Amino acid sequence: MRCPECGYNVPEPLLLCPRCGAHVEETQPMKGRRARRAQRTLPWVKAQEDTIPLIIGAEAEEERAPTRPTLWQRVRVVLLALVAFLCLLTVSLAASGYLGLQAGRQASVERRVALADEHYRRGLTRLDAGEYELAIAEFEYALQLVPEHPLAKQGLAEARARLASRPTPTSQATEEVARDLYAQAKAAYEQEDWATAARLLNQLRAFAPDYEPEAVEEMLFTSLYNAGMAALSGDSLEEGIFFLDQAAQIRTLDADALRELELARRYLRALGYWGVDWETCIRQLEALYALAPNYRDVFQRLYQARVAYADLWAEQGEMCPAAEQYAQALRLMNSNALIQKRDQAAEVCAVATPTPIAPITGTMPGAITVPGFTNGRLAYAAYNPETGMYDVYTLVSDGANGYLSRVATGADQPCWRWGGGQLVFRDRLAPGIALLQPDGSRVLLRAGADAAWPTLSPDGTRYAYAAPDGAGVWHIYIARTDGADAPRVVAPGWAPSWGPTGLLAWTGCEADGSACGIYVDNPDDSQPPVRLTGNANDTGLHWAPGGGQLLYMSDHTGNWDLYLLGVGGGVQVLLSTSAIEGLPAWSPDGSTVAFLSYRDNAWGIYLMGPDGGNLRPLVSLGAEMPNWQNQRISWAP
């Protein structure tokens, strides 16, 4: 057969031309056309014919007519092969489709889970930022993607619980708040209201540390320095130390400030032993008297301490040490009455049989040094299982360490006056509200076992407390510390706390038991109180140093945790763990938060940073703290 394309003589068994690859047709009518095409073939094609070897047979064999399959037979074979191929292809496609569908479904599930996890993490971020509505939206969308997402369910419940107790006033932008604080601080600075300027500038630095940092630092140092020196020259030594310690963290103090600071610390350290450990108190006063004999009333204090120590010996029947102490007091100041006491004690001592005696230290255990407590004064109540009552303790810092003393037995709910050395508490032995003065003397402000949670105004002229009426409904009252006027009712509520700016906060409900939560009011104006939260267990209030925020505790999630509330709006979780946390108190410089906690089967007071970090124990309180929710921790300059 001839190739219809190139005219090559193709051997009979082949159906493809070995020269050009064209298909060789079998029908007889095509022979003439193949011949004609061969005549039109180019000359070089003919030349190639002689060079291409035949694959099978020879030209003579081409002329033979061997028996070949019919066209139908060939077509049938091709059709059967095609049908088999299509069946195999169908099965393969079906299997691939099924596997692909399963893989697609699995990938879709994985994508939905991953997307749900992403929205859950976004919800946590919103929750921590106090954006509870947005957190709820994120958690709900996560549950739409994965309805059984366990963490999203928990997050949604937590966000809804927090939203229920969150105030809803609008808040200013950060820049506006910073600008406003700066303007107020600058105005106070120009008016030389150093304490107010320092308070506002400290608040500004904590809120927006990058706002005018150089100007803020310069004004803050000057304000702290002048406020500290003014306080040390007056009667507010603790406040003066507090201000100058902060100033020293910004810049080195000059010699005058350092001397005044050292004298004030020595004086307060000596008074910390007043009536508690007379021997140590006298030793401290003698050292101060030798350093600065004209400092304050150190001479009179030393004389009075000698006499008090001698009287205490005499009361114990130990006349020899009593006579010695009377003699030491007479070297400071002559007194006929004191000479008589010395002579009587010496006369008894002369005929008494000498026996070894142990020194006595007054009516309370001596002060205990607590290393690392470097800021302000802390007061708290600790349960005494031997008496079944609470006792009040104070922890006073001298700038380097703290000195722990028990200042009242059978007493609780202590509260310092902000910026002063007065401590008010509830007395359970002589039922009522008692005021402890810096010199150790005690004043009964109100008699009666019903009054509770006393708190002093910033100037110390008034105090607020809570007491039930005849129907058993608790109310907030305000009275004067000098007893000049009758107490006046403020509002229904309990657990009041008077802030450094004059605002009064408490926990309460309306008279019908509705609208419970934290209330804030200015008791000196005619405006009604403002409710900021929505739970009756939002309690244990303690003001921030700047007066713009409140620490409190609440159990609305099922466990007692710590929260931070802005007076202008906004609530955030301060600390939430599986342990009990309550009774928060902010340090005067705003750097630390103290709180009560039950951990490892024991109660204790712990410290942490305002961000919840650097958690560490301060004081251990033992295994029992009955009705601890009604107690209080107070921290002041």
Structural domains present in the chain = 73-164 (1.25.40), 174-268 (1.25.40), 273-351 (1.25.40), 368-636 (2.120.10.30)
Q: What is the predicted pLDDT for the residue at 29?
A: 43
Both structure tokens of 265: 């610390």
CB of 25 closer than 8 Å to CB of 42: no
Q: What is the predicted pLDDT for the residue at 629?
A: 93
Q: What is the predicted pLDDT for the residue at 289?
A: 85
Q: What is the predicted pLDDT for the residue at 100?
A: 47
The answer to whether the predicted template modeling score (pTM) of the entire model surpasses 0.75 is no
Q: What is the predicted pLDDT for the residue at 351?
A: 65
Low-confidence ranges of the chain (pLDDT < 70): 1, 5, 8, 10-79, 81-83, 85-86, 88-112, 115, 119, 133, 137, 141, 145, 150, 165-174, 207, 351-367
Q: Quick one: 30 exposed, middle or buried, by C-beta within 10 A (0-12, 13-18, 19+)?
A: middle
- What digits encode the pLDDT tens for the residues 606-618? 999 888 888 899 8
Q: What is the predicted pLDDT for the residue at 78?
A: 63
Q: Quick one: 515 exposed, middle or buried, by C-beta within 10 A (0-12, 13-18, 19+)?
A: middle
- What digits encode the pLDDT tens for the residues 234-263? 888 878 888 898 898 898 899 889 989 888
Strand ranges in 538-622 using DSSP code E only, listed in sequence order: 539-543, 549-554, 561-566, 571-575, 580-586, 593-599, 602-608, 616-622
Q: How far is CA 370 from CA 73, 496, 618, in A?
A: 110, 30, 8
Q: What is the predicted pLDDT for the residue at 24?
A: 61
Both structure tokens of 472: 């058993």
Q: Does an H or E element contain 287, and which?
A: helix 278-291
Q: What one-character DSSP code corresponds to residue 532?
A: -
Task: For strands 539-543 and 411-416, give the pairing.
Answer: unpaired
